[in-house]
Amino acid sequence: MTERVYLDHAAGAPLLPAARNAMDAVWGLPGNPSSLHTAGRTARRLLEESRESLAECLGASPTEVVFTSGGTEANNLMLLGAAGARPGRPRLAIGGGEHPSVAGVVARLPGRVDVMPLAAFGRLVDGAEATIGAETALASVMVVNNETGVVADLDAVLARAGEVGAWVHSDAVQAFGHLPLNFAALGVDAMTVTAHKLGGPVGIGALVIRRELTLAAPGFGGGQERRIRSGTAMTALATGFAAAARVAVGDLETEAARLGELRELLVRGVVSGVGDVRVNGEAPTSPAILNVTFRGCRADDLLLMLDAAGIDCSTGSACTAGVHQPSEVLLAMGRSVDEASASLRFSLGRATDSAVIEKVLAILPDAVNRARAAFG
């Protein structure tokens, strides 16, 4: 059987051996970290050591790291928690093209969320930060877009928020492990990260939030995580997250450079070998994400043809009950419905090498031609 090519690391990266080994050493240990007996104290020590290690990787204090079940929960906690915590500030502001766990707050809090528009190159339009006002509790703009890989310029948002007293949150899920990420230096009040995008386990993430901020917790219970999140702490997952983070941060510069070269190899090959394509998103971008519109076909058709040829990638769009939907991110960037329905995301990781890129480029032209024929 031919070995498959995996180019969907932005959805979930393979578990790193270091993360697996760290968790294997902990899975069998009994004890709830909130218990006072010896087993409980052992679990608590392991949990807090993981928190300290992760905080060091993120340029944060351990007291600023709130473990969650993943990026979605962390985003939800911050948005809903800020919306309920600041009397006289009933509004939120979010960037266009945010992850659904942020964008979904528009429906959750109807009439209370302002969306800052995106320009065609994938970042906020000039002046979008003026949306943030005296009634804004929180502005949320992601560091790296999960579909296009475009890196945000947060300076104007931070400056405007500082003027009016709004908090700033950033979804940094796609940045962590691929770009330098330091919570203190970034200048935001809170940011979201998760483990499984960088080779850690599925089921754990973190909301990194300044110590002096108090949120209105959307849930209730024991308040184990700084009274923001309730529930028994996931000690083994935390150890795996911390281990993966150490690997990702440890060789970030060399790995980012390697992936950047592979991304450029893929870009050149797609543009020259396929034709009538558009690369979505202007530099700077993540070295690990490439989004391409293949005009004249449906992304779903092309994805299935590549899947049959042994290549795993993704559309940037959501499919519900088999009904194709165009990418909300690309629509927010001003793309037509046809273009937003004809785009694929290729996301690279540690297993990606030049042989992988060459295999994709060898298969892609024929797959695109067949997809275009099927669409036409």
Whether residues 206 and 257 share a domain: the answer is: no
Question: Do 75 and 204 belong to one domain?
Answer: yes
- Tens digit of each residue's pLDDT (9 = 90 or more) over 117-168: 999 999 999 999 999 999 999 999 999 999 999 999 999 999 999 999 999 9
User: Can you tell me the distance from the alpha carbon of 79 to that of 169, in angstroms, rounded to the nearest whole number?
Assistant: 8
The C-alpha atoms of residue 160 and residue 187 are separated, in whole angstroms, by 13
Which domain-ending residue is among 215, 235, 250?
250
What's 91's domain CATH number?
A: 3.40.640.10
In 144-247, the DSSP E strands lie at 167-171, 190-194, 205-209
Rounded to two decimals, the pTM is 0.95
Same domain, 316 and 228: no
pLDDT of residue 325: 84
pLDDT attached to residue 298:
95
Please check whether residues 130 and 53 belong to one and the same domain: yes
pLDDT > 90 in the chain, percent: 94
Residue type, 98: E
Classify burial at 373, counting beta carbons within 10 Å of its beta carbon; exposed 0-12, middle 13-18, buried 19 or more.
Answer: exposed
Last residue of a domain, one of 201, 226, 250: 250
Helix (H, G, I), strand (E, B) or coil at 355: helix
Q: Which residue has the tokens 């809170």?
A: 190
User: Helices in the chain by DSSP H: which ranges?
Assistant: 17-24, 38-58, 71-83, 100-103, 105-108, 155-164, 183-186, 235-250, 252-273, 299-308, 328-332, 337-340, 354-375
Total number of domains in the chain: 2
- For the segment 308-318, the average pLDDT, to the nearest whole number, is 86
| Residues 229 and 82 occupy one common structural domain | yes
Closest Cα partner for 233 from 22, 30, 33, 62? 33
Question: Residue 139 is which amino acid?
Answer: A
**Residues 235 and 150 placed together within one structural domain of the fold:** yes
Residue 309 domain boundaries: 5-12+252-375
User: Is 49 in the same domain as 133?
Assistant: yes
What is the C-alpha separation between 194 and 177, in angstroms, rounded? 10
Residues 171-195: pLDDT tens digits? 999 999 999 999 999 999 999 999 9
Active site residues: 319
Q: Do 211 and 124 share a domain, yes or no?
A: yes
Which residues fall within 8 angstroms of residue 43, CB to CB, at 6 or more apart?
29, 30, 31, 32, 33, 35, 233, 235
Question: CATH number for the domain including 370?
Answer: 3.90.1150.10
Q: Are 96 and 124 in contact (CB under 8 A)?
A: yes
> Residue 347: what are its φ and ψ, rounded to 5°?
-125, 130
What mean pLDDT comes out for the span 290-300? 96
65 - beta bridge partners? 208
Verify that 293 and 238 share a domain, yes or no: no
pLDDT digits (tens, 9 = 90+) for 49-69: 999 999 999 999 999 999 999
Does 213 lie in the same domain as 351? no
Mean pLDDT computed over 347-372:
97
Rounded Cα distance, 331 and 96, in Å: 10
* 214, two tokens: 């108090």
> Does residue 290 carry a pLDDT above 50?
yes
Q: Where does a domain end: 250, 267, 283?
A: 250
Residues 207 and 292 in one domain: no
Amino acid identity at 66: V
Instruction: Write b or e for each residue in 266-304: b if 16 or more Cβ atoms lie within 10 A of its Cβ, otherwise e.
Output: beebbeeebeebebbbeeebbbbbbbbbbbbbbbbbbbe
Residues 134 and 57 in one domain: yes
Q: Among 97, 134, 137, 129, which Cα is nearest to 113's?
A: 137
Chain CA centroid to CA 67, Å:
16
Cα distance between residue 346 and residue 40, in whole Å = 43
Average pLDDT for the chain: 95
